[in-house]
Amino acid sequence: MSAPIGLTAVKGSDTIQIMSHNKIEARPVFSLVIPVWNEQAVIPVLYERIVQVMDGLGERWEVIFVNDGSSDRSLEMLTELHERDDRVKVLSFSRNFGHQIAITAGFDYADGDAVIVMDADLQDPPEVLLRMIEKWREGYDVAYAVRTKREGETAFKLWTASAFYRLIRKIADVDIPIDAGDFRLMDRRVVLTMRRLREKNRFMRGLSSWVGFKQVAVEYERAPRYAGETKYPLSKMMRLAFNAITSFSHVPLQLATYTGFIFAGISGIAIIIAIVMRLAGNQQLLGQATTLVSVLFLGGVQLIFLGIIGEYLGRIYDEVKNRPLYIISEAYGFEHPSPPLHRSRRIGGHSDGRNGASAQEEATAPETINE
C-alpha cells in the first residue's frame, strides 16, 4: 500500500481531506469516474471489462473509483485492485454523500484529457466507451449516452423515468436530452468548467447541458443490473427529480402566481354571481357547505405552494451554509493530498492531435490555502 500523507486541512474549498496515500504517475489520456456503493458482487467483473476495453486503445488511462460510504467489502476490494494495478485509483468518502456528489469528487481528481462517467452496476456497458471516444476524436466535447432500451426494470420505473425526462425538458431553462443519464464522456475543458460549479443539490446531467460546448448523442441499449439491488429506489428518484426541477426551472414558482390569478378571477366572478342571485331572491347559495369546501380547497392549494417555496428556500439555505460537498477519509494512488481543483496543472496535448486544456482554462481553478 502507498505510504500515507499526514493530515491536511483545506480552507476556502469544497473538500476536507483527512488522509491520502501518495503515488506518482504520468498524466493519462482517459479518466474513468465510477461511483461505488455496496457493489462487491460487481467490482471484479467491472474491472475486467474495463481493462479489456481500455487496453485495446493503446493510450494511457486511469479509473477512479469513488467509494460512497460502502458498508460491504467494496473498499477492501478496490484497494486490492489498486495494489495490483496502479491505474486504479480510489477515493473513499467518510460517509455516504450520494451518487451525484461522488461524480463531482471524481471530476475534481481526474487527470485525463477526456473524462468518462459510468455506473458500477454494468448497466452502462464499457464497450459503449469506444463509440464515445470516437465522437470525441471527431471534435465533440461531450458524448452522452441515450438509452433506446432499458432491460430489467419495472414498468413503473420505465414510465416514471420517461415522464420525468419529458417534464424536465419542457420546463427547464436548458435543453436536457431525453433518456440520457450520467453515462457520458467529457473533454477536459468541459470538466474544468464543471469544477467551478459547486452548488450543493446537484443534477450532474443538467449541469453538463448547462455548460454547453459541442455535444452529441450516442445511442445504446441499457443492460440489466449485473448483480445486487438498485441504488435508486423511489425516494431517491423523487429527491433527484426535485433537485433537477428546482435547479433548472422557475416554473413551479410561476405556477403559484398563475394559480393565484386564476382563483382570484374565479372568486371575482363568483362574487358577482352571488350578488345577482341574492338580489333576485335565489336562496340556493345559503348554507356553510359550499363555503367550507371552498376554504378547504384553497387552503390545500396554499399549503402546496408553500411547500414548493420551501423547497427553493431549503436549497438557498444549503448554499448559505457553504459546507464542503464531500469529505474524503482515504485516497489511494494520488500524487497530492488535495484534488486537482486546488492546484496548478501541467499543460499539453495528447496523441490524437486535440489540444489539452489551455493555460487560461487551467488558471480558472481556485487556489488552496493550506494551514
pLDDT(292) > 80: no
Minimal CA–CA distance to 298: which of 264, 257, 348? 264
CA dist 33 and 194 (Å) reads 14
Backbone angles phi, psi at 186, to 5 degrees: -130, 135
18-54: per-residue pLDDT in tens?
Answer: 444 444 457 888 999 999 988 888 889 999 999 989 8
Most confident of 186-200, 251-265, 296-310: 186-200
CA dist 46 and 69 (Å) reads 19
CA dist 24 and 207 (Å) reads 31
Spatial contact of 111 and 28, defined as CB atoms under 8 Å apart? yes
Residue 121, pLDDT score: 84
Mean pLDDT of 317-324: 82
* Strand segments (E) across 178-322: 180-187, 215-222
262-291: per-residue pLDDT in tens?
Answer: 877 777 777 777 777 777 766 665 555 667
Which pTM does this prediction carry? Answer: 0.71
Lowest mean pLDDT across 41-55, 131-145, 302-316: 302-316
The three-class DSSP label of residue 220 is: strand
Mean pLDDT of 155-183: 77
Residue 10, pLDDT score: 39
Q: Please give the single-letter amino acid code of residue 121.
A: D
Mean pLDDT of 54-65: 90
Mean pLDDT of 97-125: 89
Sign of the C-alpha dihedral, residues 248, 253, 254, 255? Answer: positive
